[in-house]
Amino acid sequence: MSFNSIAFFLFLPVVVLVYWILPRRGQNVFLLAASYFFLCYIHLWFGALIFMVTAVNYGCSIAMIRWPHKKKALLILCLVLCFGELAYFKYASFFLENIISLFTTFGIPFSRPVLNIMLPVGISFYTFQAIAYTIDVYRGDTKPCYDILDFSLFISFFPQLVAGPIERSRDLLPQIRNTRHITPELFQQGLILLLWGVLKKLVIADNCGLIAFKVFSLTDPGFYLLWSGVFAFGIQILADFWSYTDMARGSALLLGFKLSRNFDHPYFAKSPADFWRRWHMTLSYWLRDYVYIPLGGSRAQSSFRRGANIIITFLLSGLWHGASWNFILWGGYHGLLVLLDRLCRKTVTAFRGFLPAQLRFPFLILQICGTFLLINIGWLLFRETDIQTLLNYLQLSPNASTVTDNQVATYLFSLTLLYGLPIFLHGILYFLDKKKRGPREQYAKNVLLLRPLLAAFLLLGILTLRSPEASTFIYFQF
């Protein structure tokens, strides 16, 4: 079931109404049933996969406590089963195609078996969440959850089930165990987040998605026309994924749960490393804690090993996003950016320190614009899956563009900027608010009074500016 479907907006009010008339234990039972219904709405067998992941991680975590001398073997078993399932559904076709290509290169005939594998929605997200829990139990960072009902709900909680955020057990499990409460303020927050998410999806992401689709459908776009399409895709993917997170957090608040923030205005980042502290934050922290640090992180003795740890982590991040070489290139590209950022950080900081006070803000703006440009180059690698076409795009010359192409590119860039304006304005207001916020009581009172007006404004924007063509969430394919 998709958040931007009519079915969801019929499903959510019913769940919220029934949920709040039940006691805590009944709420958990009902939420678990609702979550499995949410996942199995299109395909029933999706529920069997998440049940398997739940059973494996629950059984292994309990067995680690009962037989501590075997906990390493149990962890390996859990990782093999969970990553094996993920690898089959997500990467089997990719690896098979590359093996066939390798055999063909050497002139070895190879009969390709037919694989019709459908990628189950959310499998990457709930698998990573489950594995993080089991690793934490193995390390002793968290105690195992013996209640199978609570643990099952932790893995399958429907607001964040399909596209995150990837929650840690220390944050979500206590909320599942304890009694939840709803207040008018929490309800308003949830409703605003839900509406803001819908607007980001239907108005910003889907409209920018149409622009990007038209540009990338052209057989031979000019230089400026291509990059106007890349810019449109950059706004689309931010609005699309951020909208899902907002709708997940808003839906969870209506049920008394607080989920993690997944975005912190990433296009205001002042460096590539800062971007990854703001973009898809729960995945970034997952990769840091369960890949980068176990590899040795920044504690590695040699600079080569420290750099290799960064590159490996980002290559895995790229592969997580999709079974295609362009995603691996995208991950490697960002790994190199972060590595160069670390190498230049002291120099940039020292240079900024020498600048006069009146030039430091313009220098910050220059850093933000430069980072935004580098991120958009990466989005071209992310968007175009065909490597040959990607190479052709990268070889385009600005001088080869026609006047007509340039005029169309200017129009599409301006239109994308207009659709993306709410995101940029929201970012500016957010940072101004952080710096100039007055007394907490007065601030809360002002926000409480403005929320009904904001809700009406968002609803009006959704009804009047929504895209004529709705699309599925981009991160559903990951």
Task: Please state, in angstroms and rounded to a whole number, the distance separating the CA atoms of residues 235 and 222.
Answer: 20
- Each of the 478 residues of the chain gets a pLDDT tens digit; together they read 677 778 888 899 999 999 999 998 999 999 999 999 988 887 777 888 899 999 999 999 999 999 988 999 999 999 999 988 888 887 777 677 767 666 666 667 656 555 556 667 778 889 999 999 999 999 988 899 999 999 999 999 999 888 779 999 999 999 999 999 888 888 888 988 888 888 888 888 888 999 999 999 988 888 899 999 999 999 999 998 898 899 999 999 999 999 999 999 999 999 999 999 999 999 999 999 999 989 888 787 788 888 899 999 999 999 888 778 889 999 999 999 999 988 888 888 777 778 887 788 888 889 999 999 999 999 999 988 888 888 888 888 888 778 888 888 899 999 999 888 888 887 777 776 666 554 444 444 444 556 566 666 666 666 666 776 767 766 666 5
Task: Please state, in angstroms and rounded to a whole number, the distance separating the CA atoms of residues 63 and 75.
Answer: 10
Cα angle, residue 283 at apex, residues 278 and 286 outer, rounded to 5°:
115
Same domain for 148 and 166? yes
Axis-axis angle for helices 6-19, 223-254 (nearest 10)? 20
Q: Which residues contact 387 (CB under 8 A, 6 or more apart)?
A: 325, 326
Using a 10 angstrom Cβ sphere, with 0-12 exposed, 13-18 middle and 19 or more buried, the burial of residue 357 is exposed
| Of 201, 225, 243, residue with least CA distance to 380 | 225
In a domain, 1, yes or no: no
Predicted TM-score of the model (pTM): 0.86
| Predicted local distance difference test score (pLDDT) of residue 445 | 46
Same domain for 20 and 163? yes
| Of 460, 449, 437, residue with least CA distance to 184 | 449
| Predicted local distance difference test score (pLDDT) of residue 116 | 57
Same domain for 153 and 166? yes
Same domain for 49 and 197? no
Handedness of CA 26, 27, 28, 33 (dihedral sign): positive
Which one-letter DSSP state was computed for residue 291? I
Domain boundary among 137, 160, 180: 180
| Predicted local distance difference test score (pLDDT) of residue 225 | 92
Task: Please state, in angstroms and rounded to a whole number, the distance separating the CA atoms of residues 126 and 129.
Answer: 5
| Predicted local distance difference test score (pLDDT) of residue 110 | 59
Handedness of CA 431, 419, 461, 10 (dihedral sign): negative
| Predicted local distance difference test score (pLDDT) of residue 324 | 82
Same domain for 367 and 472? yes
Same domain for 157 and 222? no
- 193 contacts 455 by C-beta, under 8 angstroms: no
Same domain for 190 and 158? no
Structural domain of 78: 6-180
Same domain for 217 and 81? no
Same domain for 406 and 439? yes
Which sequence positions are flagged as catalytic?
Answer: 321
Same domain for 31 and 154? yes
Tokens of 351: 């240079």
- 341 contacts 320 by C-beta, under 8 angstroms: no
Same domain for 249 and 397? yes
Task: Please state, in angstroms and rounded to a whole number, the distance separating the CA atoms of residues 177 and 167.
Answer: 15
Q: How many domains does the chain have?
A: 2
In a domain, 32, yes or no: yes
